[in-house]
Amino acid sequence: MTTATLPPRAALPPEAATSLHPADLAALLDRREAGDAWAVLKALPIARQAETFGYLAAGTQTAIAGIAAPRDVAALLSAMDADERADVWGRLPESLQESLAPALAAAEREDIRRLAAYPPGTAGAVMTSEYAVLRPEQTAREALDSLRGQAASKETIAIAYVLSPQRRLLGTVALEDLVLAAPERSVASIMRPEPAFVRVEDSAEEAARLLARYDLPAIPVVNGGEAMVGILTADDAMDVAEAEATTDFHKAGGSASLGVPLREATIGLLYRKRIAWLVVLVFANVFSGAGIAAFEDVIAANVALVFFLPLLIDSGGNAGSQSATLMVRALATGEARIGDWARMMRREILVAAMLGGTMALAVSLLGLIRGGPEIALVVAMTMVLVVVAGSVIGLSLPFVLTRMRLDPATASAPLITSIADATGVLIYFAIASALLVP
């Protein structure tokens, strides 16, 4: 497949715009001025325009919509899939929406209004209303004829949905099953009854997880009245999973989600998204300083202890970050639940003790060299305890946040590290005081 290899500002030959995959073409256009990008897009057939436009970054989409003629933007939106159209519409400024609305067909305006009404992050907000429908009394031949007529305007016909007159979901039919069935056999006898489904208010992340669990190309979405209103497709689920993973990575790093691609983020936005956590962690680290201050006499009498302080404290924080990362992911994927806490805690303590013991053997040799047997014993005992403490904190915090109905990803690495640091300081100097002070 041809890929995008042209430099950002190089002239884009017409044949390249038509031969490149839409995703590769969009990658090139994202690096150009909105006017140049629109000039390339406008020269393409409307279907290819719409497909390429869907791959563009949000900022590029908004910029193009702002400079193109309303009738051209309306034609572009009309050619897009319903869910992508609603996403683009939601990002446009209100003034631009008002100028574009009259150019859209009434059915498209209603479809955008309905899809945009669902809260962000729900299955309803990411579903598409373009799905293939069959009736249970149709024959296989009639069903295939019906799908031929629907194919051009639907997201997929690989799976068709069998609905009652009240739009209740009765079952699903795979295109392959229709092709292989006897022509006069009824759809009702071919369909798979009681398929998996999600509700419009369910989280998009849970819907994507359910789709992956059952290995489906799409999963139906029903409303409060049990009527089918849309589908979540596999590519939509991938977008949901990517967005959720991005959010979790940001939280794990101790910052809020940017909401825009990093290259488009302003200095002010980057500052606002990162400063809150850093300020919180500054005050959290005060406890570490207070702990050190409380043991000034012990430190003054045994200066060698200072050499091992960063090593020991970092080890506890690193162990906690490892545990938290594993647990946040397990909770996010459903591999672990609240009821698993006690069993997983017992196992984690055993593993942490083994890890701490191994690390203690290594650091005790340094202790012998730098401070003698007593320092070596203090350092070794501290290493075991700080690794166990860090692991317990890292494992427990995601569970606590989940119990409080908060996102476990909020148990970020900086937060875990700060808590483990303060705990490690107290453990270290408490052991040193017990063993070294007469």
**Which residues neighbour 94 within 8 Å (Cβ) at sequence distance 6 or greater?**
none
Are the C-beta atoms of residues 389 and 255 closer than 8 Å to each other? no
Of all residues in the chain, the percent with pLDDT exceeding 70 is: 87
Q: Is the pLDDT of residue 7 over 60?
A: no
C-alpha closest to that of 16 among 24, 207, 392:
24
Asked if 139 and 52 sit in the same domain, the reply is: no
Which 3-state string (H, E, C) describes 61-100? HHHHHHHCCHHHHHHHHHHCCHHHHHHHHHHCCHHHHHHH
Range of the domain at 291: 262-436
Q: Is the pLDDT of residue 353 over 90?
A: yes
Are the C-beta atoms of residues 396 and 423 closer than 8 Å to each other? no
Asked if 349 and 407 sit in the same domain, the reply is: yes
Asked if 151 and 110 sit in the same domain, the reply is: no
C-alpha closest to that of 188 among 229, 151, 143:
143
- Specify the 3-state DSSP secondary structure of 155: coil
Q: Is the pLDDT of residue 355 over 70?
A: yes
Model confidence band, residue 88 (pLDDT cutoffs 50, 70, 90): confident
C-alpha closest to that of 222 among 243, 195, 241, 240:
195
Whether residue 248 lies inside any domain: the answer is no
Whether residue 123 lies inside any domain: the answer is no
Asked if 37 and 175 sit in the same domain, the reply is: no
**Which residues neighbour 224 within 8 Å (Cβ) at sequence distance 6 or greater?**
199, 200, 201
How many whole angstroms separate alpha carbon 360 and alpha carbon 376? 9
**Which residues neighbour 65 within 8 Å (Cβ) at sequence distance 6 or greater?**
73, 88, 92, 96, 100
Q: How many domains does the chain have?
A: 3
Q: Is the pLDDT of residue 43 over 70?
A: yes
The conformational region for residue 194 under phi > 0 = left, psi -120 to 50 = alpha, else beta, is left
The last residue of one of the domains, among 212, 243, 274, is 243
Model confidence band, residue 2 (pLDDT cutoffs 50, 70, 90): very low
**Residues written for the chain:** 438
Are the C-beta atoms of residues 156 and 217 closer than 8 Å to each other? yes
Asked if 150 and 238 sit in the same domain, the reply is: yes
**Which residues neighbour 197 within 8 Å (Cβ) at sequence distance 6 or greater?**
169, 219, 220, 221, 222, 228
Q: Is the pLDDT of residue 259 over 80?
A: no
Report which of residues 133 and 405 the model is more confident about. 133
Asked if 276 and 397 sit in the same domain, the reply is: yes
Asked if 203 and 267 sit in the same domain, the reply is: no
Model confidence band, residue 6 (pLDDT cutoffs 50, 70, 90): very low
